[in-house]
Copies of this chain bind each other. A is one copy, B any other.
């Protein structure tokens, strides 16, 4: 392992005031920067105990490569602006630390960097894998006699973390898909008699149908879009589905369908893995929406349109849910407070109040109980026929999309995080990510870190 940057000495490590390392992990969400904002602003309120707040350039990889962004160089205004910027301002990565026995070097490297920079707090903002990493690292650091307080910060559009009522990032995707299918549904409705009769919108959700289910909120009265939802949890039944489409078109004039990317056959295989041709007779290119649309065209002859929202849905800060933004900020804030209270290997969780009116507060979940477990939609959230959501689901989803939290615009466009973090990037040229990647590539070879 290469030498650490100077002038970090052992003396620095002995300082009573410790530094904090924050990293974003996995697929970003439209509100992950709100969590970052919560972390940094709260840490700044505790300058007696927290020294520097470092953010990892491209997540945990930034620690392995000693690419630490000193957020202290940013003005309070720049940090506040983070709250409403899309994407991951510091960069993220898809990188899972293996077990200690499988890759001890990585854990040692992290320890080395943390020691050198007097980092005693590690806040890891991600999904199940990240909570697992944080949990493992807490244990490892204890064994090494340099205990690092490891706090997970929940984040996933998939909403599949256990131990929390919902996951920051999900509410905004939920709002995006519900608003989008309402808008597109009305569009189709307004001219279905002489034009498109079937509209299919594909949404994310490989194993759990939370996102697809949330789109169901758009249907408030009989006949509203979406008319059919295809969940990963319910095996696809071709005949039942086609009959339902036909009935919808007869009754309402059109049929709006939301399909989860993870929609499955009865044998558990994905619909898109069946090797079928796509809507255009070409080799399958991925995309269950064109597959479904083509099936309907072939069997029922209806004119169709389809959309695949893909990253647009999880990146859409412009239509973020105000509830989601607040909660994303709150878990960031709570993570710092947990760390200062001496908690370890836990994650702030969102706890829903029991009353009829929606209330929530921050609770606590043990990382060991959260890591690597996917929370599926309860069966009672899906209608008996498998094609829509129940009132129980509506009650769950509804408050999560409530409220609008509009970001700042300039020249008609949403501001980039680089604009928000002007100070950080000013000396890095116009393209911080790309520059960072170049820098990382160099460090990469220098440090000889395992490839990711």
Contact = CB atoms under 8 A, between A and B. Distances in A.
Interface of A: 24, 26-28, 30, 58-59, 61, 86-95, 175, 178-180, 182-184, 186-196, 199, 201, 217-218, 220-224, 251-253, 272, 274, 276, 278-280, 282-287, 289-291, 293-294, 303, 305-312, 314-319, 321, 398, 401-404, 406, 409, 411-414, 416-417, 430-431, 433-434, 437, 440, 452
Given A184-B311, A222-B430, A412-B321, A437 B253 contact: yes
Contacts of A413: 178-179, 182, 217-218, 220, 401
Given A315-B186, A431-B222, A287 B291 contact: no
B184 A312 contact: yes
B309 A290 contact: no
A280 to B, nearest CB: 5
Nearest to A286: B290
A185 to B, nearest CB: 8
13 contacts: A61-B193, A86-B186, A87-B187, A183-B312, A184-B311, A199-B311, A223-B430, A278-B303, A287-B306, A305-B311, A306-B310, A307-B312, A309-B312
Sorted nearest first, the 6 A-B pairs with minimum C-beta distance are: A223-B431, A87-B186, A401-B412, A285-B290, A307-B310, A88-B190
Contacts of A93: 191, 193-195
A249 to B, nearest CB: 10
Given A26-B191, A252-B434, A253-B434, 4 more contacts: A58-B194, A187-B314, A188-B311, A307-B312
Contacts of A403: 412
Contacts of A404: 406, 409, 412
A381 B94 CA distance: 38
A193 B252 contact: no
A317 B183 contact: yes
B434 A187 contact: no
Given A28-B187, A193-B437, A319-B319, A311 B307 contact: yes
Question: How many copies of this chain does the complex contain?
Answer: 2
A279 B190 CA distance: 16
* Centre residue among A175, A189, A282 by max chain B CB count within 10 A: A189
Contacts of A287: 278-280, 290, 306, 308
Contacts of A59: 191
Contact of A88 (B24, B191, B278, B316): B191
Contact of A318 (B90, B312, B319): B319
A285 B291 contact: yes
Contacts of A95: 194
Contacts of A179: 318, 413-414
Contacts of A28: 187, 190-191
Nearest to A85: B186
Contact of A303 (B92, B224, B276): B276
Nearest to A87: B186
Contact of A183 (B87, B88, B188, B434): B87
A187 B86 contact: yes
Contacts of A224: 416, 430-431
Given A184-B311, A409-B404, A92 B433 contact: no
Contacts of A27: 187, 191, 195
A94 B253 CA distance: 15
